Structure 1
């Protein structure tokens, strides 16, 4: 038995709130003392005598040995996570330099707004700069899990103070983002908290938009101090109850070193059945995050709905940068690990959780992820980047408790390594991007200078462009028609193939065979895991089919661009023009995401600059593997967490007895899927995916690109001798000074 003399304090408040789930008054009545006495004990828990702790054990019927486990050993008193942000400070300094450069370039654009040649070149330079700024953004860390696993508690422990509200009832009904205080908007003044309404689209809310008066007026609900979190985020808060503004996001600015290297996002817990809005807010937050802390309580680790939630996270995960090891941005954490007897038992719990999760994944889950990564990233190196595998997955399990530095040390060290590696990789990626982009930019200036020196050449080119306009417009129209035909072909093939796969798989005989071959028993846990395995396998079939036809569509698109550019009679790049026709501001590019992932290492700086901007607008790193793995996340699927749990509940009905229980249970599963119209939902998702592909570009913009090229040549020809010399002088100056911007 543990010796109480080895312990400094008994976490009485934690015991009352998170173990017993009692108010102070209820606990006082149970123990037989006044509420003031309980308040005094909780304010100074170190003063509690062993006799008092024994009394608490007797009255609560909670074993004394287990109570002693909740006491904090002297040698393991916790403190905040003392992260050294030096790598990020260097990166942030460089990012600030780029921001200053972007402002200077904007001033230059305004200065030369009447000179289209200079204005266009400066706009290109600004896009390069702004892309680099976006690429240097800090990772967003989402804290996910059921509503009672201690997400807010963990964040408070990392920060070293009670920034977020905590308790055993679901408190966080908002997406709360912790940002470093140095990034606080000037409008906030002495306050540190902003409450916002995303108006149904969390993508509207970005931390770098607060300087916009329109953004502030449209989305900011209220500003103040941390008390607002209780009022809006606590279900008992007055402003939560009368929340007419539908406030769903909060920013809180905190001075802590770890926030110099990341943003910490506290998301609403899953499983709050009385409020589906929480599920929606959590899902949108997950989609916009870069890394995930998935929390599950130790004494029920990876049980029940955890399996479904974590699979949902695995489907969403992608590389933050192209040089990161796979799965390094995933942390699966067993919280309140102090309640487990010893390190051996804790490690066993982690291992069993990994095995349980892996058992419900489709047979080719890891293989498929590796296929997507390797096929779309020429720089992928299995030795350097690792492979998606169970071996890599099981290393992502950790323990955490606010009461022990030792039990949380491996998580902390791994997380610090992760942040430092991202900083280095982001700087390397930005340097490579700027190097290739500036080379391309300077080449474009050289071409402009040569064109300006030879006044006859623009006239010849202009004549050719005008004469061939009707043919180019015909090419663009044919391209649009062929693209639509390919999209409809892909859509129909996806629907046909998935319907066949689904019907073949969801037969009683096939499900019976799976139950038999995988050794499932006639017990609740086994049947839940089987139903989850079935759902995951169907999702995998959906992704396989979508990916196959997306690759084929991308291949046909590339062949068409090669053909058009090869036979072009004028200097017009159909591929670049198509890139410029892609619509900004959408949340999904459909199959174009996989097509764009191939541009990560191409030398065409204008294409690359546009692609980087488009991908980063939906949270994808600069091409290559990061874009390819993010493609998997963008596919999504119609089976939400709530629906998956509903299906599981629909299958576990009644007691199945006799030798043919497998047949009866297989029939239950099929009926549950029919009741929820799962096949129809998947077909709707296929249609939406290809509708998104079609809606993500507008070939009318290609015609505008062609006409802009004609107008640019006209501008060159119409330049007076003085303007011509001035333009040449400024282009030469821009070429010489470009490196000063970076």
Structure 2
């Protein structure tokens, strides 16, 4: 343990820091390079870009209709997944929290009556929590395609310009705008699974604001499976310990005659769970989780639409038939080049600084 804490753990942290910083450098350098190229092409042929903008504006009514349909589809999916989560959990509890099932559990896990009385309630709640987390995770993953489809409608609008052989060069980052709309939220529900699937977020300017949010949700910035810590928050935090202790006190007054102690413990456990509304707490947590999903999606979607309107206005600015538009593009290119040089020139490297912790093995920690 001393070796792990003093040597391996600091090295592991440094490797992760190095990986993330290098990814941010690389992604942002590429991103700035693409934007510089796009503005240079616009500067070289403003007349064509102006025609593209006109076609884009003429298609705006159709774009809004298609986007709204896909936005409604996300809300429909959320409602269906919410209903599915609730139904799946109720079906599980109907089979799991029965006297016969719990009695079998007791006989399989405990030989000692005292240990069973003290540990059973906590074990059962832990099983319930694990099951609902799995249900939440599976259904959260199912929401991702409809979110991607909604965000993709903005990109499709740039590609479906009638009678034009080339697409608009200036990019619109729908995902970045959506993520920006989520900043400041304490829980984003099922959107945590979508965010985790994005992989490295270094290409987004908002990454610094998003790191703390995703970390709080148990999501690795490098990708991977989204945790459902937001669900745990929705039910008011871990309740295993509290239930276990109170249950132990309730069970302590039992007699020793009549039915087997396993059967009596099982009956009292079922009764206790009903009195304490344990299942209701989990069900309320599921409902809150999907309500958070709806609210956070709306906030993100509104942010995308707002940024899209700003994007259209920006295209008007840089394609106007005045010399001011060319000056504006040249100014933007200079700013982007400065950003590219900044990220490309960040002097970072893992110099293997000695970060070993001083651990005194003679002391208790």
Residue in structure 1 matched with residue 52 of structure 2 by the alignment: 461
With over 3 angstroms needed to count, the CA separation of the structure-2 counterparts of 1:594 and 1:615, relative to structure 1, is: farther
Q: Comparing both chains, which one has the higher relative contact order based on Cα–Cα distances under 8 Å and sequence gaps of 6 or more?
A: 2
Question: Which one of 537, 541, 545 corresponds to residue 131 of structure 2?
Answer: 541
Instruction: Please list the CA deviations of residues 517-552 of structure 1 after superposition, one character each: whole Å capped at 9, or x if unmatched.
Output: 33x235212322222221111111111111111111
- Alignment root-mean-square deviation, CA: 2.8
Q: Deviations over 1:632-656 (max 9, x none)?
A: 3333163524344334433444234
1:230-629 pair list within 5 angstroms: 410=1, 412-416=2-6, 417-518=8-109, 520-521=110-111, 523-561=113-151, 565-566=155-156, 569-570=160-161, 575-576=174-175, 579-580=178-179, 582-601=181-200, 605-606=203-204, 609-610=205-206, 613-619=209-215, 620-625=219-224, 628=225
Please give the alpha-carbon distance, in whole angstroms, between the structure 2 residues aligned to 1:583 and 1:554. Answer: 16
Contact residue 144 and residue 193 of structure 2 kept, 8 A: yes
1:667 CA drift (Å): 0.8
1:52-131 → structure 2 map (5 Å cutoff): none
Higher strand share: 1
- Distance change in 2, residues 1:566/1:732 (3 Å): closer
TM-score, normalised on structure 2? 0.79
1:739 alignment partner, one of 331, 335, 344 = 344
1:104-135 CA distances to partner (integer Å, 9 max, x unpaired)?
Answer: xxxxxxxxxxxxxxxxxxxxxxxxxxxxxxxx
**Are residues 1:703 and 2:305 paired?**
yes
The structural deviation recorded for 1:483 is 1.1
Structure 1 residues 741 and 556: alpha-carbon distance in aligned structure 2, compared to 1, 3 A threshold: same
What TM-score results when the alignment is normalised by the length of structure 1?
0.41
* Aligned twin of 2:271: 671
Alignment size in residue pairs:
325
Deviations 1:25-50 (A, max 9, x none): xxxxxxxxxxxxxxxxxxxxxxxxxx
Q: 1:214-225 alignment to 2 at 5 Å?
A: none
1:716 match: 318
Distance 2:128 2:134 in 1: 10
Structure 1 724/539 Cα, relative in aligned 2: closer, same or farther at 3 Å?
closer
Say whether 1:660 aligns with 2:260: yes
Rate the CA distance shift 1:426–1:657 in 2: closer, same or farther, 3 A: farther
Q: Deviations over 1:71-113 (max 9, x none)?
A: xxxxxxxxxxxxxxxxxxxxxxxxxxxxxxxxxxxxxxxxxxx
| CA separation of 1:514 and 1:436: change in aligned 2, threshold 3 A | same
How far off its partner does 1:711 sit?
1.0
Gaps of 5+ in 1: 1-409
Structure 1 residue 678: Cα displacement: 0.9
Distance in 2 (alpha carbons) for counterparts of 1:583 and 1:665? 47
Aligned-pair CA distance for 1:674: 0.9
Distance in structure 2 (CA, Å) of the matches to 1:555 and 1:674:
38
Partner of 2:351: none
- Say if 1:426 and 1:655 are closer, same or farther in 2 by CA, change over 3 A: farther
- Bigger CA drift: 438-447 or 657-666? 657-666
* Contact 1:591–1:693 (Cα < 8 Å) also in 2: yes
Which structure is larger by alpha-carbon Rg, 1 or 2?
1
Question: What is the SS of the residue equivalent to 1:696?
Answer: helix
Unaligned regions of 5+ residues in structure 2, if any? 162-167, 348-365
Contact 1:590 1:693 in 2 (8 A): yes
Kept after mapping to 1: 8 A contact 2:183/2:210: yes
Measure, in 1, the Cα distance between the counterparts of 2:92 and 2:51: 58
| Distance in 1 between residues matched to 2:107 and 2:69, nearest whole Å | 54
Equivalent-residue separation in structure 2 for 1:592 and 1:722 (angstroms) = 41
CA contact (8 A) 1:584 1:614 kept: yes
Corresponding residue number in structure 2 for 1:403: none
Secondary structure (helix, strand or coil) at the match of 1:582 reads helix
Query: Which stretches of structure 1, 4 residues or more, deviate above 6 A after TM superposition?
Result: none
| d(CA) in 1 for partners of 2:116, 2:123 | 10
The one of 682, 685, 691 aligned to 2:285: 685
Secondary structure of 2:126's counterpart equals: helix
Residues 445/666 of structure 1: CA separation in 2 closer, same or farther (3 Å cut): same
